[in-house]
Structure formats: C-alpha cells, structure tokens
Amino acid sequence: MTYEPHDLQVTYDPSKGWSHFVLYTEPTRGIVMGGLNATTTIEPTSAYAHEWRNRLERCDPNPLHTTLVGNEEMPKLFHPCVYEDKESPSAVAGDGCLCRQTWVDPEFGSPVVAEHYRTVSGNIEHWKYRTYAPLDLRPGDTFASLIVDDGMQFWARTSHRLITPLPQESGHGYGVGYSGSGPRALAQYIQRLIESDGEDTAAGDRDSGSPDPNILAWASSKRTVRTLELSLNELRAIQHG
C-alpha cells in the first residue's frame, strides 16, 4: 500500500480526538517501535518536567505503551504498584517496587510509561517517564519559547502556554555544549522557527545547508549547558550576535 503525506494525520488534534502513529518493526527480532517519533526519557527533577508530569492522566495499557518498553518488561505494564498491592508481581519484599505505570498526555495524545524504582525500606526511590516526542505542535498553535532544561531535556512552550518535548523525529536528537550532530540539529530547528516567525514547528531535517553560524556557535557552547527559557525574540538576538 502506498500513501501520500496528506493521508496521515500524525499530529494529535484534541478537537478530533485521534491521529495516526507509524510503527517500525523487525518481526524476526521481536522489535516494534515508533517509526517517526523520537523517544525521550524525562526525569521529573525540574519545574518544567513537573509541569509536564502534572497534566498526565493514568490510563489502561494499550499497544503503544508496549513499544516504549522491552519485551521482557511488557507484563509489568499490567502489574499494580507496591503502593496499590504489596503482593504485586512487581513488588519486592512487599515494600520495594519495579513497576511500570501507563499514562497519556491528553494534550498531545502521547503514550507515557512511568518507570518506578524503590528499594526495600524506601531509602532510594525515583520515577522516570518514557514517551514519544511530537512531530509538530498542535494544529492552530505556534511556538512561544524554547526551553533548555539543564542542558539535557529540550521543551517548547506554545502560544497556548502548553509545555511539550520539542518536536523531534527518530534519529535526529538534539544536544548542546559540544560540536556534533545534536547541536547542529537544534540550530537548524531554531533557524526554521526564526525564519517562519514561530509558525514552522514540524520536526525533520529539511535543510541540507549549514545552520546560521551564530546559532550553531551558541548551541555548541558549554555555556548553554544550563537551564534557559528563550522567547523567539531572544533567539533572534542570538542569531544577530
């Protein structure tokens, strides 16, 4: 079967309530994963991560959640947390926990798997969240600011004040603080935002040329490895040097 790009609505629109999701599979190796959207792991250690985390909604596991975990972890998606059942198969001695919880981002339709790690007695406990980055912002929304979260996580804040992982395609990761493909991909994305006045927010490497040298130098600088929230005008100022 062939298709034209307009046949696929791959960005979730809450007013429609559905979108298409493209899968990649290697059947002989038991691999199934997202074919277009990049995966991202979020540690809820910053105010931005908490802002995103607080809008998630618990839901039953569905097939998309299984693409975010390894095959051996799939049963854990159906096991209760130790806080819900001390006899859960994911509980450790009735107090520790290695469960996986399933959530959804209601604004972008993204599946989210929360990974819980708790030692017996609880002296060490943390959660992290695995999800897919969107391929674009929601229909009718535009870019308002770029967030570099401690130099590790990249967010966009939209004109509707929603925070989301920066749109990203699989295989095109972002980065800052070094010379390489990550800062280059981020610089190219920022350049498109500036040139389109925040309208062109779709992920993807569509520019074979070099990004603006000032933007690339900023993205590659170790001084950028910190927490920043930059408006479109502030990004323009970086471009102008």
Could you tell me which of 109, 108, 123, 195 has the C-alpha nearest to residue 156?
A: 108
Within this chain, do residues 10 and 128 fall inside the same structural domain, yes or no?
yes
What amino acid occupies position 227?
T
Within this chain, do residues 154 and 59 fall inside the same structural domain, yes or no?
no
- Distance (Å) of CA 220 to CA 151, 208, 231: 11, 19, 19
Question: Residue 4's pLDDT is what?
Answer: 56
Question: Residue 3's pLDDT is what?
Answer: 47
What is the enclosing helix (H) or strand (E) of 163?
strand 163-165
Query: What would the two tokens of residue 144 be?
Result: 């308002």
Burial class of residue 30 (count of CB atoms within 10 Å of its CB; 0-12, 13-18, 19+): exposed
Mean predicted lDDT score pLDDT of the chain? 94
Question: Residue 193's pLDDT is what?
Answer: 96
Write down which residue in 98, 132, 166 finishes a domain: 132
Please tell me the chain's helix, strand, coil percentages from 3-state DSSP, rounded to the nearest 5.
Answer: 25, 25, 50
- Span 12-25, pLDDT tens digits: 999 999 999 999 99
How many domains does the chain contain in total?
Answer: 2
| 9 occurs within a structural domain | yes
Whether residue 211 is predicted with pLDDT greater than 60 in this model: the reply is yes
**Count of H-run helices and E-run strands, the chain:** 5, 13
| 138 occurs within a structural domain | no
Question: Residue 210's pLDDT is what?
Answer: 85
